[in-house]
Structure 1
Amino acid sequence: MIKVILLCVFPGSFCPLRSRIITWFKGFDAILKELNMHLMCPIIPIKKSFYILIFAALSFSVRAQQRLTLKQCIDYGLTHHRSTAVYRNDVDAAGYKAKEAQAAYLPSVNITSTIDDNIKVQQQVIPAGVFGPTDIKVAFTKRFNSNAFAQVDQTIFDKSLLTGLKANKIALKEAQLTGEQNEETLIYNISNAYYQIFVYRQQLALLKTNLGTYQQQLTISKLQLEKGVAMESDVNKIQVNYNNTNSQVLSAESDLELAHNQLRNAMGYAINDSLQIEYFVLDEPSADQARTALGDFSSFNAANRIDFKLSEVKIALLDIDQARIRATAIPKLTAYAKYGGIGFGDNPGESFSSISDYAAVGIKLSIPVFDGFKRNAQYNQARIKQVNARENLKIDQETFHLEYNNARTKLIKAQSTLDNDKGNISLAESVFKSTDLQYQKGVAGLTDWLNSQYSLKEAQSNYLNSLYNFLIAKIDLEKANGTLKTFHHSL
């Protein structure tokens, strides 16, 4: 049974660990049997509970140590980052806004009830000569009157409402595009933070290698000092370089931890939870291969950019707004039906007991004649906004093309710089090995040894900078070309 459970908890890649645990549990079984013989009591339930607890802990530990690739980090961020929930809510809100607009063309039912206390009843005057030689003042109501009615209104024709309904689908598309834009932002930020971790790891590995070199040389120099074949100043020079490199290691470790925190934040990952990142080998194409790969980006299309699509959507909304304002000049036709009751009395109770019902149906035609040029002003405002939006789209189109060309140029330059700096590291390492050998034989001095080591460190620093610039240039080009989601799917 133990083997079956362990096969589930530990896959084939954990075979050595699995076999050791099986051996350990066999020993634990023997101990339990011995205890059972001496104590003369059943301990099987305890054993089962113990096994369950251990297996649960081991399973959790294996899962906790899972290392995430860049694609897995992006997938997590697209699912768990809080901004995704915000933009999903915006899409839902756009759907409800569409329903709100549609409601204007659906029947509306209202129930109204009033009771009036006419503290001083208004009187009307019947002119003299109608019922007598003098004016007669008469009240045509009583102190209390109650009224309750239900009314159904239905829009039959309203061109402005019908035009406005066309904006619903476009507004929903705008909300969806904004959500996609947020996804691209997450992909970019997560990739940036992930590549930072990769470069800091490279930096830390190189610094630790340099630290080991200084440590080894420091040990040798101290022994030489004890034997009187080395000067104390030489030992101090190496000690200073060792201390400086050690400080750089501590700083790089701090930078690496900060980069992990940045990645957690970009992913929407809990800041206090452990996050393990997969070690990966960067596929560094040659300059010729990079130029060949860039052929895929030779034909730039601004329509791939989410920003461009959002601008087009806003122009479409402004077009509809223009048509809606123009349509307000067209007559509107509505129908209504009303049923209610009205009562009068000298006290509230009498006004309710004397209620008599009434009903009415009708059609209302509203013809706009003159609104003080308000409609004309609104239309011209919408027209100017639409013209400006089209001009801004042309400006954005040129800006997008510029961003693309700049990103493409930066990637080509970053690739060439990376190739040069990578080759320079090999050259610096060769020089240092040669100088180190000469120093051990006494042909070269300590100054030459330190200079060659410093040149190697400088070459390493240049390589790390060009490596980071190359990685960022890659995702900058994907962003400029509007293909960040394609980049994500290709990982």
Structure 2
Amino acid sequence: MKRTLYILLFGLSLAFPAIAQQKDTTASFSLQEAISYAQTHQTSILNAKIDEQIAINTVKKTIGIGLPQVSANASFQDFLKVATSLVPGEFFGAPAGTLVPVKFGVKYNSSVGLDINQLLFDGSYLVGLKASRTYKELSVKNTGRTRIETNVAVTKAYYSVLVSNEQLALIDANLERLKKSLNDTEQMFKNGFVEKIDVDRLSVLNNNLLTERENVIRLLALNVNLLKFQMGMTVGSNLTLKDKISDIKVDQAQVLSDGQVYNKRIEYSLLQTQKKLNELDVKRYKSLFLPSLSAFGSTSANFQNDKFSNLYDTRFPTSVVGLRLSIPIISGGQKLYDLRNAKLESLKTDNNLVNLQNTIELEVAQAQTIYLNGQKSLENQKRNMDLAKEVLRVTKIKYDQGVGSSLEVTTAETSLKESQNNYINALYDMLINKVNLDKALGNINY
């Protein structure tokens, strides 16, 4: 017993480090890997796939309406008091005008049977069969739309983390440079070469930069958690990014060639499928004016006796087959108005298609303009940042040589920080605009 316990404890001692190591494992993803992960783990996509399965089951259910319907039945009756009827007395030799009470039936009755029904023709069923398959197509396209939306959400969240990392790197570089300047200025103050206000100005900049760094770190953690959420990862997971800002290619704004970009948009395809469903709905209501034909058959065995012990000794079989024709005549105008409403819904879909075409073309034009403006703004902010770095470098040289003031250095540091913030904002806007343009052009596939 003790030996077994020792072996178990030894095994657990080996397992716990492995479990701990697995728990602390950090997942690293490129942008495409993050998107692929989200496509198989994001809850919205998983639910969309479930909706596809529901649509498949709905199609099979609709098909089943036209298949033979078979049901079995059984019954047992115990007449505690057998029904009594009054019969003219002449039948039993009694005087005319008298009524004689007679009991028809027996105390115990039982039956077992089998019913079969087969739909032969029903216009609404045939149309419903087509509609169910179109509904399945619609569910597949809905899944595609969910995949595209997830792709966009993951990409934007991924870019947010990259931009936050870039912003943190710039702040760290500024802190390192500012720390050196502050140390040098403090030494110069101790030696009497500068005033106390020079040290205070740099200290204020340094403190502000440290506060900004803490804010960026918190924002970075929030962006990482948002990326995990969009990917379908647990918030407690460890996640790092493989891609860098420099890996992202900034293309020139795309130009439409044929003005038919809406044909590439999943929203337009979904609305076209909805139009097909509306047209089938019109056909379905029209088919309700047609007759329906079905075949039926049943067989049963009846058992009757006044004694329960002899109830099933004798069987009385019954079998019947036939056709049932149902012809609609008057429905109070309900079918007519249902048909009119279905036609109106189809007209609304036509109008929505035209409006969606115009909306998509407007979205593309806006996305192109915003993306092009963002590119120009990013280029300008990049030049301003490089220029601010050069101004700071020259200002510090002048200050070190005694021909410049500390106020000029502080102003240059502030200008550099402002230009870097403008660059980060322009960079983020450009990346988000790039995603929006790709989505508007229908370039994000599923």
TM-score scaled to structure 1, two decimals? 0.81
Please show how residues 334-413 of structure 1 align to structure 2 within 5 Å: 334-346=294-306, 348-413=308-373
Instruction: Choose the corresponding residue for 1:111, options 61, 67, 72.
Output: 72
d(CA) in 1 for partners of 2:88, 2:352: 71
Please show how residues 83-98 of structure 1 align to structure 2 within 5 Å: 83-98=44-59
Q: Which residue in 2 is equivalent to 1:276?
A: 240
Taking a change above 3 Å as real, the CA distance of residues 443 and 298 of structure 1, as seen in their structure-2 partners, is farther
Alignment pair present for 1:220 and 2:184: yes
Alignment pair present for 1:238 and 2:225: no
CA drift at 1:395: 1.9
Alignment pair present for 1:290 and 2:252: yes
Q: Which moved more, 1:235-244 or 1:116-125?
A: 116-125
Q: Which residue in 2 is equivalent to 1:446?
A: 406
Q: Which residue in 2 is equivalent to 1:181?
A: 145
Q: Which residue in 1 is equivalent to 2:4?
A: none
- Contact 1:195–1:471, Cα closer than 8 Å, also in 2: yes
- Contact 1:300–1:481, Cα closer than 8 Å, also in 2: no
Taking a change above 3 Å as real, the CA distance of residues 78 and 367 of structure 1, as seen in their structure-2 partners, is same
- Contact 1:109–1:151, Cα closer than 8 Å, also in 2: yes
Deviations 1:314-355 (A, max 9, x none): 111111111112112211111112111112333554544443
- Contact 1:207–1:249, Cα closer than 8 Å, also in 2: yes
d(CA) in 1 for partners of 2:120, 2:406: 97
CA drift at 1:385: 1.7
d(CA) in 2 for partners of 1:285, 1:357: 83
- Contact 2:295–2:322, Cα closer than 8 Å, also in 1: yes
Q: Which residue in 1 is equivalent to 2:106?
A: 142
d(CA) in 2 for partners of 1:426, 1:246: 22
Q: Which residue in 2 is equivalent to 1:152?
A: 116
Query: Letter of the aligned partner of 2:43 in structure 1?
Result: R
Query: Letter of the aligned partner of 1:204 in structure 2?
Result: L
More helix by share: 1
d(CA) in 1 for partners of 2:163, 2:82: 89
- Contact 1:167–1:320, Cα closer than 8 Å, also in 2: yes
d(CA) in 1 for partners of 2:103, 2:272: 65
d(CA) in 2 for partners of 1:322, 1:171: 15
Secondary structure of the residue that 1:338 maps to in structure 2? Answer: strand
CA drift at 1:147: 2.1
Secondary structure of the residue that 2:29 maps to in structure 1? Answer: coil
CA drift at 1:64: 4.6
Count of residues in correspondence between the two structures: 427
d(CA) in 1 for partners of 2:257, 2:367: 11
d(CA) in 1 for partners of 2:311, 2:289: 44
Q: Which has the higher relative contact order, 1 or 2, with Cα contacts under 8 A spaced 6 or more apart?
A: 2
Query: Letter of the aligned partner of 2:68 in structure 1?
Result: P
Q: Please, which runs of 5 or more residues in structure 2 have no aligned partner? A: 1-9
Q: Which residue in 1 is equivalent to 2:439?
A: 479
d(CA) in 1 for partners of 2:90, 2:212: 113
d(CA) in 2 for partners of 1:123, 1:376: 50
Query: Letter of the aligned partner of 2:135 in structure 1?
Result: A
Query: Letter of the aligned partner of 1:210 in structure 2?
Result: N
d(CA) in 2 for partners of 1:393, 1:186: 24
Query: Letter of the aligned partner of 1:414 in structure 2?
Result: G
Taking a change above 3 Å as real, the CA distance of residues 384 and 299 of structure 1, as seen in their structure-2 partners, is closer
Please show how residues 8-47 of structure 1 align to structure 2 within 5 Å: none
- Contact 1:297–1:481, Cα closer than 8 Å, also in 2: no
Taking a change above 3 Å as real, the CA distance of residues 123 and 310 of structure 1, as seen in their structure-2 partners, is farther
CA drift at 1:123: 4.1
Deviations 1:244-295 (A, max 9, x none): 1011111111111111111111111122221110142436778xx614xx13
Taking a change above 3 Å as real, the CA distance of residues 379 and 228 of structure 1, as seen in their structure-2 partners, is same
d(CA) in 2 for partners of 1:326, 1:348: 55
Secondary structure of the residue that 2:322 maps to in structure 1? Answer: strand
Query: Letter of the aligned partner of 2:59 in structure 1?
Result: A
Secondary structure of the residue that 1:443 maps to in structure 2? Answer: coil
CA drift at 1:300: 4.3
CA drift at 1:224: 1.5
Taking a change above 3 Å as real, the CA distance of residues 422 and 105 of structure 1, as seen in their structure-2 partners, is same
Identity of aligned residues (%): 26
Deviations 1:79-103 (A, max 9, x none): 2222222111111111111010001
d(CA) in 2 for partners of 1:348, 1:221: 115
**RMSD of aligned C-alpha atoms?**
2.5
Deviations 1:356-375 (A, max 9, x none): 11111111111111122221
Secondary structure of the residue that 1:271 maps to in structure 2? Answer: coil
Taking a change above 3 Å as real, the CA distance of residues 126 and 382 of structure 1, as seen in their structure-2 partners, is farther
CA drift at 1:206: 0.8
